[in-house]
């Protein structure tokens, strides 16, 4: 009788463990899928930020803005360079995040499926 009680407790503990692992991995899968969609849209339709002149002055303090007055053409050129650099950096960052999300999914989906099959077999 005591052995039956212990095996019942172990079975309950095992079931709780499997359900808990399934729950956690499912939450990770849902979150990473949402992030993957967000990152993919960020790669396709990147968010662009156009720095204002005051922001450019703050970035280049001690350089051209302080030493001399920057012409409008030079300012526009600098602004475009800054925008292009920001877009490249954002795209690289979005690609890295996308790869991270894919890696999480490649790890969590099999883990979830394994534990879910174990639950169904019991």
pTM: 0.70
pLDDT single digits (tens) 33-91: 999 999 999 888 887 776 666 666 666 665 555 556 667 677 778 778 888 888 888 88
pLDDT at 107: 95
- 3-class secondary structure per residue, 42-61: HHHCCCCCCCCHHHHHHHCC
Distance separating alpha carbons of residues 10 and 49, to the nearest angstrom: 57
């Amino acid at each position: 009788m005591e052995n039956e009680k212990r095996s019942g407790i172990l079975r309950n503990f095992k079931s709780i463990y499997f359900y808990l692992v399934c729950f956690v991995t499912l939450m990770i899968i849902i979150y990473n899928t949402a992030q993957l969609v967000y990152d993919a849209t960020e790669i396709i339709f990147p968010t662009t930020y156009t720095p204002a002149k005051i922001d450019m002055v703050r970035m280049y303090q001690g350089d051209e803005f302080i030493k001399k007055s920057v012409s409008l053409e030079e300012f526009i050129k600098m602004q475009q360079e800054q925008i292009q650099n920001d877009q490249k950096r954002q795209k690289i960052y979005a690609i890295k995040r996308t790869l991270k999300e894919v890696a999480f999914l490649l790890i969590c989906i099999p883990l979830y499926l394994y534990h879910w099959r174990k639950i169904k077999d019991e």
